Amino acid sequence: MEADLVVDAKFKSCPGPLLALASVVSKASPNQLIKLLATDPAAPSDVREWASNVGHQVLEVKKIGNVYEIYVKVSS
C-alpha cells in the first residue's frame, strides 16, 4: 500500500502515537492515506477507536518485527 504521508511514532507510548497521527491527519487532505509506524502494542486498538470516533478509516494493520504499520485513510 502506497502511503501519501508517513508518521513515525516508534518508541512513543500512549498517547504519543495518537497525538502524532491526529496532528498530521488534521493537516492532511481528504482521502489521503497515512501510514503510522508505532511500537506501542496499544496503538492498533487506540487508532481504530479514535478513527471510528472521528470518521477516518483504518484500512490495514501490519506487524513487521516489533513495528506496527497502521494505514489510515482520511475521511472525504
Partner 1 sequence: MSKISIIVTSEKLDKLYPAITLAGTAAISGWDAELFFTFWGLLALKKGYEPSDVSTDYKQFGAKLSEAFASGSMPSWKTILEQGRATGRLKVYACSTTFGLLGFEENALESFVDDVIGAATFLGKAKDADITLFIS
Write out the residues near partner 1 by the rule CB under 8 A: 11-16, 18-19, 22-23, 49-50, 53-54
Q: Closest distance between partner 1 and the C-beta of residue 13, in Å?
A: 5
Rounded least distance, CB 19 to partner 1, Å: 5
Output b/e per residue, 29-62; b: 16+ Cβ within 10 A: eeebbbbbbbebeebbebbeebbeeeebebeebe
| Shortest CB 28 distance to partner 1, Å | 14
User: Which residue number, 16 or 32, has a Cβ lying nearer to partner 1?
Assistant: 16
Please say which residue, 6 or 15, places its beta carbon nearer to partner 1. Answer: 15
- Strand arrangement of the beta sheet that strand 5-9 belongs to: 5-9, 33-38, 67-73, 57-64
